[in-house]
Structure formats: C-alpha cells, structure tokens
A and B are shown apart, each in its own frame.
Chain A
Amino acid sequence: MKKFYDYIYLFFLTLCKLLFIVTVVVTAYLVFGRFILHSQPVWGEEIVLMSITYMALISAALAIRDDSHMKMTIIEFMIPKKWVNVLKIIALIVICIFALFMVVEGIKFAYIMRLSKMTGLQIKTTWLYLAVPVSGVAIILMVSEKFLEALGLIAKTKSKAEIDEENNRLSGKQAARERL
C-alpha cells in the first residue's frame, strides 16, 4: 500500500517538475522572442499560465504528504500530544471535504467554461479550470494516505520539518567535518 502512495506522489511530483520546466522554457522563449526575434507566439503566455495553474494546485497535494503546509502550531505547546493528533485528524477530514468541493464544483465550472475559448491556444477554457478537480483528486489521495497512517495501517511518512531538521543537522556536521 505504501508503495502505491509512493508512486502516486512520484507521479504528481514529476508532473509538477515537468510543468515547471515548461513554464521556465516558454517564458524564456517569450523574452527571447520579444527582444531578439521581435515577435512573440500568441500561445506563449497562455501555456505558461496554464502550466503554473496546474502546478500550483496539484503541488498542494504534495505538501499534504510532507505535512509542510503553513500552519499555526502554537496550540501544540498548550495541549497534550494526544489531542494534537485528534486535531490533525479533524483537519484532514475538513481538507478532504474541501477537496471534494474542488472536484464537484470544479467539474461543474469547467463544464460551464466549455463555451469560451482561450484565444492563443485555441482550446476550450474548460482545460484551464479542470486543474481544480484534478488537484482535488490529488489532495484526496494524499489525505487518504494520512488517514491510513493515523489508523496504523501503513508506515508513517516523515514530515518536511523532520526531514529538514535531519538535513540541517547533517549539513552542519558535514560543514564542520570539512573545516576539520
């Protein structure tokens, strides 16, 4: 089961990386076109914006697995750890409801937008708004992993804070070793 989630995560991460590369390459080409070729492709800006929209929304699911979304953790100092875990589960349920909303309303809105076209790419605006339900599905998948972890059915994934702390300690030690 853990492997399944690893593949899902890897798939979305790779997709985001590829979209990011497209964004950088096309924007750089737009600059090149503007200053050197003195003409810019009409599809350029639209493809950049579409890529970043997909990347932005899908990557939100990645941060759920890493537990790296910004949050106010002040309450952790005030209540027992057991209650913190309860709050984590409640938060996951609410996120899941919001993700469901993204799927349902995202599809509805994307369907409405079939009537308009993106002028540069000559495709329906539906494709742009489909980023919302796709992201909703990705979030639900990542949240389901967290649920299974909380129920003890699969091994816990290290949070970003835990990974960062480990890396920082390692890099500090490595730097110190290099100095010696």
Chain B
Amino acid sequence: MSPEAIAAILLIGSFLIMITLRFPIAFAIGISSLITILYIGLPVMQIVQNMVGGINKFTLMAVPFFILAGEIMGAGGISNRLIHLSNALVGWIRGGLAMVNIMASMFFGGISGSSAADTASIGSILIPMMKKQGYDPEFATNVTMASSVQGILIPPSHNMVIFAMVAGSVSIGKLFLAGMIPGIVLGVALMIYSFYVSVKKQYPKGDSFSWKNVFKAFLDSFLGLFTVIIVVVGVIGGVFTATESAAIAVVYSFIITFFVYREIPLSEFWNILGRSIKTLSIVLILISTSAAFGWILTFLKVPEIVANFILAVTQSKIMILILLNIMMLILGMIMDMASIILIATPILLPVAMHVGIDPVHFGVVMILNLGIGLITPPVGSTLFIGSAISGVKIERLSKTMLPFYAVMLGVLFLITYFPAVVMTIPNWIMP
C-alpha cells in the first residue's frame, strides 16, 4: 500500500474513531489532520495556516451576519406577526393551525434560515395552541419539526453559503434561487398531508377568510419580511455581494426591531449578540479546522480516489444519485448539518459533477437530505428541541413522524430526479 493510501486511511480512520467516541467534531477534524500531517512529514504549521485561511474569507462573513439578523428578528416579535399573517392566509382551512404552522415556517425560514430556531420560536407558540384546540401533541410537534426544514431551503440560508464556500465557484445567488421552489414544494406537500389528517381526525378550522385580515396582517409583518427581499433581490440582482446584503440585513433588522417594533429594549441586543456567538462558536471553528482537513484530503487526492471507486461501481446517473442520497441521509442521521457539508462536499461533489449533475442542483439535494437528518434519531437537533417544547418523548415522536418522513422523501425524490424543479428559476434569472 502506498504511503498516500495509508495517510488517507489514517486521516479518515482516526476521524471516524474520534467522532464515534463522542469527541467534538471540530476538534476531531483538527486532530486527525494533525496526526496525518505528522505521518506524511509535512510542516505542522500548514494546519495553523489553513485554520486561519479557512475563516479569513470575506464571503464567509455572510454566515455570522445571517445568523445575527435571524436572532434579532426572532427576538423582536416577528414570529407572532408571521403567525398572524399565516393565520389570515390559511387558518380558515380544515386543520387551520397545522396549515398556519407550515406557512409560518415558510416565512420564518426566509428570516432565520435555521430549522432549530424555527422549531423553537414557532413551536413554542403554536404547539401549546394546537394542543389546546384538540390536536394530538405528536401531530402538532411533527408538523412543526417537518415544516421547519423549509427554513434551510428557503433563502437566505447560511448553510447554503457554507456549501457555496466549500464547493467553490458556485454562485450563492443561484443557490438561493434554487432553494425557493423545493422549499415551497415541501411546504405544499406537508400541507396536503396535514389536510388529509385533519379531515380524518376532524381538527378545527380557524376564522373564515377575509381579505381585510390578510391585508392588515401583511402590513403588520411587511417590514420584517422585507429583510428577505433585501437579501434575495440584492444578491440575485448583483447589487450586493452575499456578505454585503447580510450586513445590510443586520442593520435593517436592528432598526426595525429596536426602533419600529420596539417589543424588546435596546439592552436586549447584548443578549442577542451572546446567543449568536454561541451558535457561531460551534460553526466557525468547524469551518476553520475543516479547511485544514480539506487541504490534506486534496493533497492525498482522496476526492479523486472516491470518485474513481464509485464510478468503477456504476456510471449511471440514476444509480449515483440513489447512492449519494442514501449516503447523505445516513450521514444526516448521525452527524450535524454543517459538519457534513464541510467534510462530505469536497468528496461527493466531484462524483456528482462527473456524471453531469449541476453543483447547484447537488447543493439543494444535499441540503434537503441533511435537513431530513435534523429530524431523525439518533442525532437530530431539531427533534430534540421539538421533544423538549412539547414534552413528547423522542421515541414516540420518531414513530409518529413516519408519514412525515415519507412526504419529505417524496419531495427529495422529486427534486433529485426532476432537476427542473430546482434549476428552472436559477437558470431563468441567472443564466
């Protein structure tokens, strides 16, 4: 066996052993890189250089800014406004609150871009309301968790920025546009299933539809929703870069929250900063150490070896897509989203591109796969939050979630094998 092959095994093997033994992933990545670089005999300072190089990128700045903007809007009372707007739009349908839950997640996703934040803020309001109106606690929680996955598809999504950064030469604007239709399709599919359950179980309707209510709720939430317009139109129109639009979104959401909505005092900003830093403390170090890991992967030609191996098994695009989906679903079940994007993208993307899959299409498929992973046991962060809010045990939620998984896998199948669902809008607007 060549020294490069042994080094590759050492890199991936030591990493897998450490994460299995419950080591923090960011450090497992750094340590396996260090062990491998010592084995190869390269200067260990390469790790220091790559760790700084990985985060010392202006494009990356969009990630902390989107997270901060989402935190500010979330704390400033936007959730209630979005729920009112959703209630005016779809609350009149049978199973009104389930519909409201899904639609509010669709809107909220455009602001937070996080499934966990969506479940925590929308869920803490709607799950108790749904229970009170006679919905099964399991159904109420499952609707909240499943619909929260829309948040990572609908722009702006910081995970898409991370993907674009790792993939290289992938337009963030195109990725944002590509996530829109899959996010909406997922919402509609969940609404259809929820309607079916609601009719069967005779869940209540809300107030009857009125244009006046819609208009009033829209006006009330418009300023908050305008954040999405700034980001999406700014990036897609080429007016701003993703980082610039994210910085504007932070300033804009700061003004709207503290000087227009004024539901929280200005002093609360200090706590919001703290919460954002807690999220970033997990994500940024991961990006930093992954840069060193990625550098060694490339040095050892691991992506090329994996691509050759998979392509030796099959050259069929359909088979490779099935294979990639299965791999990403399994990875999503055991690891967190950002880690997988950072580690698996450099390995799997070349395989996908080799069989003619557009990197933007692959990015959206990957995000949905990993989004499903957020609500599956044993390691589903959103699943844990849903369980904590509703008080329903994870085992019970996982069982009752099965039909929702089926709906989501149906949407995944659709976007995987019908690339037009993903690519039509980006190809049309940004050819």
Contacts and interface: CB of A to CB of B under 8 A. Distances in A.
A70 interface: yes
Interface string B41-82: 000110111011001111011001100100000000000000
B281 A91 contact: no
B58 A72 contact: no
B243 A27 contact: yes
Given A53-B55, A172-B127, A175-B125, A72 B379 contact: yes
List of 5 A-B pairs having minimum Cβ-Cβ separation, nearest first: A69-B24, A56-B284, A59-B281, A176-B128, A60-B285
Contacts of B64: 20, 23, 52, 55
Interface string A20-51: 11011001101100100000000001001100
Contacts of B31: 94, 97-98
Contacts of B270: 17
11 contacts: A13-B274, A24-B247, A49-B56, A59-B277, A60-B288, A70-B24, A91-B23, A97-B31, A102-B48, A168-B388, A172-B124
B21 interface: yes
B contacts with A: majority SS: helix
A53 B20 CA distance: 29
Contacts of B225: none
Contacts of B52: 53, 128-129, 131-132
Contact of A69 (B243, B282, B334): B282
B287 A56 contact: yes
Interface in A39-91: 45, 48-49, 52-53, 55-57, 59-60, 62-64, 66, 68-77, 84, 87-88, 90-91
Contacts of B250: 24, 28
B21 A90 contact: yes
B246 to A, nearest CB: 8
Interface in A97-129: 97-98, 101-102, 105-106, 108-109, 112, 128-129
A95 interface: yes
A41 B277 CA distance: 27
A64 B287 CA distance: 16
Contacts of B385: 164, 168
A171 interface: yes
B227 to A, nearest CB: 14
Contacts of A156: none
Given A31-B248, A176-B132, 5 more contacts: A59-B280, A62-B281, A63-B281, A75-B21, A91-B23
Interface residues of B, number: 71
Contacts of A94: 18, 23, 27, 31
A153 interface: no
B21 A101 contact: no
Contact of A56 (B123, B251, B288, B388): B288
Contact of B285 (A57, A108, A109): A57
A17 B21 contact: no
A71 B22 CA distance: 6
Interface stretch (B319-327, B335-343, B397-405): B335-343
Residue of A24, A101, A131 with most partner-chain B CB within 10 A: A24
Contacts of A27: 61, 65, 243-244, 247
Contacts of B384: 161, 165
B396 interface: no
Interface of A: 13, 16-17, 20-21, 23-24, 27-28, 30-31, 34, 45, 48-49, 52-53, 55-57, 59-60, 62-64, 66, 68-77, 84, 87-88, 90-91, 94-95, 97-98, 101-102, 105-106, 108-109, 112, 128-129, 131-132, 160-161, 164-165, 168-169, 171-176, 179
Contact of A172 (B34, B47, B284, B390): B390
A66 B30 CA distance: 20
A55 B120 CA distance: 26
Interface string B373-394: 0000011000011001111000
A46 to B, nearest CB: 10
Contacts of A62: 277-278, 281
B281 A60 contact: yes
Contacts of B47: 101, 105
Interface string B1-41: 00000000000000000111111111100110010000000
B273 interface: yes
B132 A20 contact: no
Contacts of B334: 72, 74
B240 interface: yes
Contact of A59 (B19, B56, B58, B285): B285
